[in-house]
Structures are given as C-alpha cells and as structure tokens.
Amino acid sequence: MEASANRPFKLLGLSGSIRRGSNCIAVLRTLKESLPADVELEIFGLEDVPLYNEDEENDTPPAPVVALRRAITESDGLVIVSPEYNHGMSGVIKNALDWASRPSSGPPLVNKPVTVMTSASSILGGVRAQAQLNETLRGTFSRLPPGRQVVIGNAKQKIREGRLTDEPTRLFALNAIDSLLEEICMVQRRPPRLGPEEAARRAMAKAPR
C-alpha cells in the first residue's frame, strides 16, 4: 500500500457470520458510520468464498478467493468481527483466513495489521473465539495491535435493528480502531494520527459490561 500521509486509511471488514440480521455485520456497519473522514471501511462479504481446497491452490484459484486476497492486499488493515460457535471462531472466518494465508509466495495476511472483535449472546462475549482468532492470526504472521479485547457480551441487548446501539461498547470498539490505525502508521512509517477527538474519546471510554 502507498504510505502517503495524505491518503485516507483503507480498512477491510470481515464478518464471521453471513446470516441475515448478523450481529457481526451490524457491528461493522456501526463502525463504518462512526469513523472519521480520513478512515474508510469496506465490508467484504464472505458468503461466496468456497471451502478451502488445496487442489484449487494453483494459478487460477476461485474468483471469490482472488477478490478476497486482492481486497486484503489493497487494505491498510483488517477489522474482523466473529461470533462464537461451540467455544470457537466461526467456520466462515477460519475458512477465509485459510485462503488468505496463501499462496506461500506472498500471502496477503503477512505483516497486515488486524484487530479482532467478537460478539455473543452470553455475558462472556466470545472470549474463546477471540483467543482462537488471535492464535490463528499469529500463525499467519499478521500484526495484532496491543490493547484490551473487544468482546461484546449480551449482544441481543446491545445490537438492535442492525446497529450497535450500546454507546459504551461503540466507544470501546472505536478505541480498538484507533489502536489499529496506530499500528498501521508504525508499519507504513506514517506520522501518528491521534487527534483531539480520539484522545477525548479514549479518556471517556470504559470497558463495557
């Protein structure tokens, strides 16, 4: 990616849930609407990405895989939001990461800044899925910014009508985006971007309950 200080940040959002009314997509949409003018977030749908098959890992992989890899390569960083299924990440997001960890000659996840969020109806908010995702992303040599985990528990009370409506959780998630942008600045050797708006939000935000 071009590292011009004047270029907007391009983030790519991946949801581990593809169902209608997905809480994970709702979180991504809310973040997209909340970002400042110098940050763009594209939400990439994973419903067309086929199951990983090493036989198709050749010069002509499936078109949705090509599109996914291109989108990751052209982004400055990823925002992954996953549900927790059976104490783990969703198969949808694991499948996408398996495709994106290849080809071995230049996988797009290597050195790519990634922030992870999870959402669940339980009070724990998907902490086990978050741990699995972080372990997988370390295995792909992605960059995980330091900071507190964004786990959205009691999601049915915090996400309504396709949007994350719980304000403390929204602010906490935006703080994670700030950390992601700081990591991107460091990777691309861009000047720090933490402005007065972000600093004020960080001072006010508390971990949601």
d(CA 38, CA 40): 7
Q: Mutual orientation of helices 196-204 and 167-188 as an angle, nearest 10°?
A: 130
Report the alpha-carbon angle 186-133-173, nearest 5. 60
Question: Which two three-digit tokens encode residue 51?
Answer: 């199951």
Q: Where are the domains of the chain?
A: 9-204
Q: What is the CATH number of domain 9-204?
A: 3.40.50.360
Question: Which two three-digit tokens encode residue 184?
Answer: 């991107």
Return the residue matching tokens 């000659």.
105
- Residue 152 DSSP class: E
Residue 105: the pLDDT is 83
Question: Which two three-digit tokens encode residue 22?
Answer: 């997905």
pTM of the model: 0.91
Residue 197: the pLDDT is 65
- Residue 206 DSSP class: -
Per-residue pLDDT of the chain (209 residues; tens, 9 = 90+): 555 667 899 999 999 999 999 999 999 999 999 999 999 999 999 999 999 999 998 889 999 999 999 999 999 999 999 999 999 999 999 999 999 999 988 899 999 999 999 999 889 899 999 999 999 999 999 999 999 999 999 999 999 999 999 999 999 999 999 999 999 999 999 998 776 666 666 656 666 66
154 SS3 class: coil
